[in-house]
Amino acid sequence: MALVFLLFLLLPYLSLSEAKKPTTDQLTADYYAKSCPRFHDIIRGVIVDKQIAHSTTAAATLRLFFHDCMVDGCDGSVLITSNAFNKAERDADINLSLPGDSFDLIVKAKTALELECPGTVSCSDILAVATRDLVTMVGGPFYNISLGRKDGFTSNAAKVKYHLAEPTTPFDDIISMFEEKGLDVGDMVALTGAHTIGFSHCKEFSDRLYHYSNKADTDPTYHPKYAEGLKKLCANYTKDPTMSAFNDVMTPNKFDNMYYLNLQRGMGLLASDQIMASDKRTKPFVDRFASNQSAFFEAFARAMEKVSVYGIKTGKQGEVRRRCDSFNSIST
């Protein structure tokens, strides 16, 4: 009897604890069917115009989405602008290179949606759907996106370094970063296939070109001709930090499996890319995706669906921001 009475007393607190936990049960594919029926049409119109005007938009938005979700979940925290009281995620060192086109796309989509259905659509849902539609637009697979995310209440630059890999991050640590978020090695290799589009700045791989080790200036895992071309391309990168190279030199604006074929040929731009072609944990996936684009697309779609619901906020755990770059309340 005493135990039953104790459980009765604790029940409200247990229920409250459960209520604070994010749940995908509150997400649905038709979340905006009644409240904002033109949601998908409006986003599609914005992304088509932006991608046609700036061909790197798809890669930029895909990277923005990933950088948002990997740090405390898919809650639009990377969109927040810093102020005098808080240095936000977008100003963390690794996020300073996030392209402006991706932020601009979200602002335009949010503005259009606010005119159509004010205070209804979250910035995190806009980012998730815009990313999916852009991937499809440049040739990648379609995957399901459930809707109903709320925008988070926090954005802290200090948290970023523990969740996103840098060029010098050991490969074991990179694998651990994914595993901590419920993503296995196969998911990691598939998601890294996003490098089939987009570019990287020369400073991110310059160590592999000019001062690799005491025995060799250039990383011997690079294909010699590829390394030679990169050296010419990045010759003045110290004077011009904006200098960059396509992640996939063969089909840079097409979402396909060429990225994995490049790895097999020693044409992985970043060290964390190239090592996947030789590490025994990742090589089988690289070889499979290189020989079978459908297998890559299926794995990528499955992994993106998992990422898209990681750490989501629902109900009172978040809000629908009026502007994607700021919280609704300064006290937040």
**Is the CB of residue 242 less than 8 Å from the CB of residue 248?**
no
Beta-carbon count within 10 A of 74 CB: 28
Paired with 170 in beta bridges are none
Task: Tell me: is residue 30 an annotated ligand-binding position.
Answer: no
202 vs 310: CA distance, rounded Å? 31
Active site residue 67: yes
Give buried/exposed letters for 195-210 (b at 16+ CB in 10 A, else e).
bbbbbbbbbbbbebbe
Distances (CA, A) of 164 to 34, 156, 202, 285: 37, 14, 19, 22
User: Binding residue per annotation — 73?
Assistant: yes
| Cα angle for residues 234, 139, 103 (degrees, 5° grid) | 60
- 89 marked among binding-site residues: yes
Nearest to 95 by CA among 31, 166, 26, 40: 166
Is 40 annotated in a binding site? The answer is no
Please choose, from the candidates 258, 265, 203, the residue with its C-alpha nearest in 3D space to the C-alpha of residue 234: 203
Rounded to whole angstroms, the Cα distance separating 331 from 96 reads 26
d(CA 166, CA 108): 30
- Those residues with Cβ within 8 angstroms of residue 240's Cβ, 6 or more apart along the chain or in another chain: none
The reply to whether 75 sits in an annotated binding site is yes
CA 17, CA 15: separation in Å to the nearest integer? 5
Is 273 annotated in some ligand binding site?
Answer: no
What gap in Å lies between CA 93 and CA 261, rounded to an integer? 31
111 is in an annotated binding site: no
> Would the annotation count 223 as a binding residue?
no
Which of 40, 67, 163, 211 is labelled catalytic? Answer: 67
Q: Are 178 and 188 in contact (CB under 8 A)?
A: yes
Q: Is 182 annotated as a binding residue?
A: no
The three-state secondary structure class of 323 is: strand
The HSE-up count of residue 114 (CA atoms within 13 Å, CB side) is: 14
Is 256 marked within a binding site?
yes
Give the tokens for residue 100. Answer: 């402006």
Is there a binding annotation on residue 251?
yes
Task: Detail the residues annotated as belonging to a binding site for heme b.
Answer: 195
The residues that are catalytic are 67
What are the binding residues for Ca(2+)?
68, 71, 73, 75, 77, 89, 196, 248, 251, 256
Binding residue ranges: 68, 71, 73, 75, 77, 89, 195-196, 248, 251, 256
